[in-house]
Amino acid sequence: MDEVIQVTQWLSSITPRKKAKLFFFTTHADAPSPMVGSNDVDTHEETQLPLATTVALHNFKNIDEFLKKKVITFSCYNVIENEITKTDYEHLRFYSACKYLDVVPPFLDLEKISAIQNKFEMTDEERDYRLLLDSADLVLEKVCDSLKPAGVSQMWTALRKARNLIRGVKTIDIIGFFVDPNPTGIKECLFFFIVRFLQKADKINRVNTNRLERLIAQCDESSSCEEGKTIDFIIDSLRFYPTELYPFGFCLIMCVIEGRDGAMQEIEKTMEISRHLGMITHTEQNPTKEAIELVKKELMKPKYQFYSSFTCWFMSHGDSNSMVLADGETIEREWFLTSFPDISTFQLKPKVFFMVSCRGANKFSLKGDEFEGHSATCDYYDIGSALIRNRMLDITDSVRDISYVQPMMDTLVAYSTILDHLSGRANTHGSIYVDRACVLMSENISRGRSSTEILEHLSQDLHELLQETMDEDRIVYKQACHYDSFFRKTLQLPYTRHPKEDVHSAPQ
């Protein structure tokens, strides 16, 4: 059958709503920077004009032409074993979006997908199509699904009033001021246009969504939300780090085994909980400085752009400033913590570090009167919310910037103990901290808990435990853990418990 006829028949089988979503997922706003050709930013004609004309004319002709071109371009594409290009990235996104929406063209050559994945050096686990979807776009899709056509129309009206933001934008004028978003698929096109416009204007990204939240907040709840949804619910969904679907993220486990009883138990526990959380895991036993540098280099490869989060467990002996490696060499803890968050593939994504080592030799010993409870009081002032509002700054869009980000932002560092103190361990089971952390995370999968809630519970749980030193003094002591957070959103545990072994094959 003629290819054009095949493509036409394929397009006719897709609903308008799915066409709008397929266009949205395919015209992803941020191309990975380490790729060849990724500096060629999509023009507004490619990403916004088809949406604008569809909304204005209630006609999907331009979106159909875009999708038809995508399929034909893919059919003609020759996968060359050379540098990864932006086209490779776009074809993987297109395939994953089709798979997610259950609209994969029956004539699509899936061997090309496998060939492109080979260029990315993807493992079997990484060939799951869900990895290739952008989790931030999936969150935005859910926001769109939670809004009625009237809600999106109200967002559009609010955006049109921001004259400094829309001045001189031709696609805005194409749509006009008054919009009828009720025909099937038009609501989605209008919402996705608003999102892509704000992204291109550098007003929102996967972390900074305040500008979009403010548009939603101006909607009338009674007419704008689908049944069972509220404005608060919709806005709250944007305040979590986007980690939709599988995998939850990439987990790096580094563990020094030499001279650390129970270290293998630590590895088994952290590997098991990372798999239950839906993470793809890599383990480094007895890491050296050279191995750490090689891991950092590996994480800079383009395929890691597809991951939604990064978690690292580092387990070793240590002191107040350093961590001891298996060969006796030491690395500065601060160096380690500042070098990993700066990796470009995980920018604007949550990064969690579990630093499990002693940070000194002090112990919170349980003896003497000095540990008897003390109480303290402080004054509380009841300040009315209206008074607070009246004294707040009126912050305009012109003084906001989301382009430049401090490397440590979106990073959380969890320490097994406080500065200058021991980190307890059991002879057979390894670190007490690792054991309790894995138990609490496992218990709270599917409960909607956040990572910081788990760490707060862990702090309480660990500090209740009586531990004893392994030397001849047998001192009983307590351990206190803590964390430093540079998070800008909430990192929520996944709602699905994944099996211990969750290996996915290449696309069938």
Residue type, 300: M
For residue 263, give Cα distances in angstroms to 284, 310, 449: 12, 22, 28
Residue 392 in domain? no
Q: 212 with 313, same domain?
A: no
Residue 507 in domain? no
Residue range of the domain that includes 277? 249-364+407-486
Evaluate whether 176 touches 55 at the Cβ level (below 8 Å): no
**Within a 10 A sphere around the Cβ of 164, how many other Cβ atoms?**
8
Q: 159 with 280, same domain?
A: no
Residue type, 353: F
Residue 492 in domain? no
Q: Which tokens go with 407?
A: 């490397």
- Strands 430-431 and 411-415, by their bridges, are unpaired
Q: How far is CA 165 from the centre of its chain?
A: 28
Evaluate whether 186 touches 45 at the Cβ level (below 8 Å): no
Q: 262 with 222, same domain?
A: no
- Secondary structure tally for the chain: helices H, strands E: 22, 14
Q: Which tokens go with 207?
A: 């972390």
pLDDT digits (tens, 9 = 90+) for 135-158: 999 999 999 999 999 999 999 999
Residue 78 in domain? yes
Q: 176 with 255, same domain?
A: no
pLDDT digits (tens, 9 = 90+) for 418-465: 988 988 888 778 899 999 999 999 888 878 889 999 999 999 988 888
Q: 234 with 280, same domain?
A: no
Residue 61 in domain? yes
Q: Which of 137, 131, 130 is nearest to 47 (CA)?
A: 137
Q: Which of 480, 468, 360 is nearest to 414 (CA)?
A: 480
Q: What is the 3-state secondary structure (H, E, C) of 239-279?
A: CECCCCCCCCEEEEEEECCCCCCCHHHHHHHHHHHHHHCCE
Residues 6+ apart with CB under 8 A from 105: 6, 7, 10, 71, 98
Residue 206 in domain? yes
Please give the Cα distance from 456 to 446 (Å, whole number): 18
Please give the Cα distance from 330 to 265 (Å, whole number): 23
Alpha helices (runs of H) in 370-450, residue ranges in sequence order = 385-390, 432-444
Residue 232 in domain? yes
Residue 395 in domain? no
Evaluate whether 407 touches 342 at the Cβ level (below 8 Å): yes
Evaluate whether 463 touches 214 at the Cβ level (below 8 Å): no
The predicted pLDDT at position 370 comes to 41
The string of DSSP letters for 108-150 reads --HHHHHHHHHHTT--TGGGSHHHHS-HHHHHHHHHHHHB-HH
Residue 80 region by backbone torsions, left for phi larger than 0, else alpha for psi between -120 and 50, else beta: beta
Q: 154 with 262, same domain?
A: no
Please give the Cα distance from 222 to 237 (Å, whole number): 19
Q: 347 with 307, same domain?
A: yes
Instruction: Using CB atoms within 10 Å of the CB of residue 374, give its burial: 0 to 12 exposed, 13 to 18 middle, 19+ buried.
Output: exposed
Residues of the chain with pLDDT under 50: 31-42, 369-389, 391, 501-508
Q: 287 with 332, same domain?
A: yes
Number of compact structural domains in the chain:
2
CA atoms within 13 A on the CB side of 98: 21
Q: 289 with 191, same domain?
A: no
Q: 269 with 131, same domain?
A: no
CA dihedral 170, 176, 177, 179 (to 10 degrees): -130
CA geometry: angle 289, 330, 357, nearest 5 deg: 105
Please give the Cα distance from 17 to 193 (Å, whole number): 14
The predicted pLDDT at position 453 comes to 93
Evaluate whether 102 touches 37 at the Cβ level (below 8 Å): no
CA quadruple 169, 170, 171, 175: dihedral sign: positive
Gyration radius of the chain over CA positions: 26
**Lookup result for tokens 């000095």:** 370
CATH of the domain at 443: 3.40.50.1460
Please give the Cα distance from 146 to 99 (Å, whole number): 22
Q: 156 with 61, same domain?
A: yes
- Strands 310-315 and 351-356, by their bridges, are parallel
Residue 170: in which H helix or E strand, if any?
Answer: helix 170-175
What is the three-class DSSP state of 426? strand
CA dihedral 154, 157, 159, 162 (to 10 degrees): -140
